[in-house]
Structure formats: structure tokens, C-alpha cells
Amino acid sequence: MKLRRAVSADALQIADMHVRSWQRGYAGLLPRGFLDRLDIGEFAASYTFDSDEPVTVVAQDHDGAIRGFVTTAIRPPIGRVMALYVDPDHWREGIGGVLINAALDRFRAADIHQLELWVMIGNERAQAFYRSHGWQPDGTQQRETVRGAVVDELRFHREIGREGM
């Protein structure tokens, strides 16, 4: 698995994987009709891969297929994981772990030690993943509109040191 920064030319491939990940991962959490209407072109058009912030890193297999991505933003003193998605046909292969570690490396290199991310309430699979990588919920909740869907989210946090504590 190769990690690299996403570029505009990746948008459609990432969007296809991103939509399929939503459709499988959020089944039962978001209405089926909403998930069925997700548009790959709209997802692709919303990405900003060529900017300095946020930064998106993709995991690409040896055939060049993008299997996942993580988007991070640094707003000192906080580092934030904005999104982490893996192709649902490749869940449980370690790709998510590689991507979350890449995010931690970015934060460490920028001397950012207080980290946060938001997870949809009810998304037990994602919550278990983040807990297994040292993230903990802090009890803070928010309601947000994401791509037209109103979702309730729980904030997770993590602290890291220069050596990855």
C-alpha cells in the first residue's frame, strides 16, 4: 500500500469509493433513499485536494486503485481528522490503521498534540475502530448537516507526544 497526497485527478475515483463507503457504512443510520441518491459527481466536485489545508492522503494499492483516504486539518493548537474512509470491499485489511497513523504522523510533524474527530452517533464500527487506535469520546455532541442529512455526532479526542504516546 502506497500513501500519497490526493490530487484533483483522483476526485472521481475517491468519490466512487467514498459514496460506496457511505452506502454500506451508514446503512441503518441514514435513510436508504438518501443513501441511494448520493451522487459521485457531487462528491468529486466538493473536494479541495490542491489546497494547503486541509490535506488529503490516499492509500493506493499496487494496481493504482485508491482503497481509502484520510483528510486532516491543522488549526493550532488542534489537529482534526475531518474524514477517514476505506473502500468497503477492503474493510478489515488494515488500510484504516495505515491511514490513521499517517494522520498522526502529520500532526506530530507539525508539533500538534491535541487531536479531535467527530463520529456519527450509532456508528459503532467507526467508534470501535477509533477506540482501538487510542481515541476516546469526550462526551461532547453536536448536530450537523452533512451533505443534506442531519446527523448527531460524538467528539473523540486523543493526545500524542513526539514519540507517539
Q: What is the pLDDT of residues 45-61, one digit of tens each?
A: 999 998 889 999 999 99
CATH 3.40.630.30 fits 2-159, yes or no: yes
* Mean pLDDT, rounded, for 26-54: 94
DSSP state of 64: S
Instruction: State percent of the chain over pLDDT 90.
Output: 92
**In this structure, what C-alpha cell is assigned to residue 67?**
482503497
Sheet containing strand 136-146, edge to edge, reads 2-5, 55-60, 66-75, 78-86, 114-120, 149-159, 136-146
Pick the closest to residue 79 from 121, 51, 110 (CA basis).
110
